[in-house]
Amino acid sequence: MGNKQQITERIAALLKDSKLSVTETRTKILELFMKSNGALEHSDFEKLAGKSFDRVTVYRTLQTFLDKGIIHKIPTTDTSVRYAVCKSECTEHHHHDHHVHFKCEACGHTICLDETNIPEIQLPKGFAANNVEVVVSGVCKSCK
């Protein structure tokens, strides 16, 4: 796990690798991602952090993290957008997000199944695939 100090240092290194200034907001938001062990949405940040962030800053921070390949979005059928941290192999220009996402209908959490690969999809003639998103819903390990 590592103590608070070590986590803060790891986050600072991650930000510097992406050529981003190391700020309090960015550090806190990344801490929340690491603690949560799952996907987060905008409202989570306001709740979790005790309204210490400005809403605008959260929007801009998440957009920056997306641009830099630090986090990725997870598709949903509701209005809320969900985000999760990418694995270390991801960079601004190359993503390794070919994993399945799982949404638990019991606890409501969405997680990345990093070990579960996306299968090949046989599309009709004339269609060219660039990216495949898979979201499975059901009951998770903890809620079973």
Annotated binding-site ranges for Zn(2+): 104, 107, 140, 143
Q: Report the C-alpha dihedral over residues 37, 7, 23, 82, rounded to 10 degrees.
A: -10
Helix (H, G, I), strand (E, B) or coil at 57: helix
What mask, x for binding Zn ion by CB under 5 A, covers residues 63 to 102?
A: ---------------------x------------------
Helix (H) / strand (E) element for 36: namely helix 24-36
Burial of 123 (0-12, 13-18, 19+ CB in 10 A): exposed
Site for Zn ion in 106-135 (CB under 5 A): 106-107, 112
* Residue among 11, 29, 40, 104 that touches Zn ion (CB under 5 A): 104
Site for DNA in 63-102 (CB under 7 A): 64, 79-81
**CB of residue 78 vs Zn ion: minimum separation in angstroms?**
17
* Using rule CB under 7 A, residue 60 touches DNA: yes
* Using rule CB under 7 A, residue 9 touches DNA: no
Helix (H) / strand (E) element for 114: namely strand 110-117
**CB of residue 79 vs DNA: minimum separation in angstroms?**
5
What gap in Å lies between CA 144 and CA 135, rounded to an integer?
19
* Using rule CB under 7 A, residue 130 touches DNA: no
**CB of residue 86 vs DNA: minimum separation in angstroms?**
18
- Look at residues 101, 110, 93, 96 and name the one whose alpha carbon lies nearest to residue 134: 101
CB 35 within 8 A of CB 56: no
Binding region for DNA (CB under 7 A): 15-16, 20-26, 42-43, 53-57, 59-61, 64, 79-81
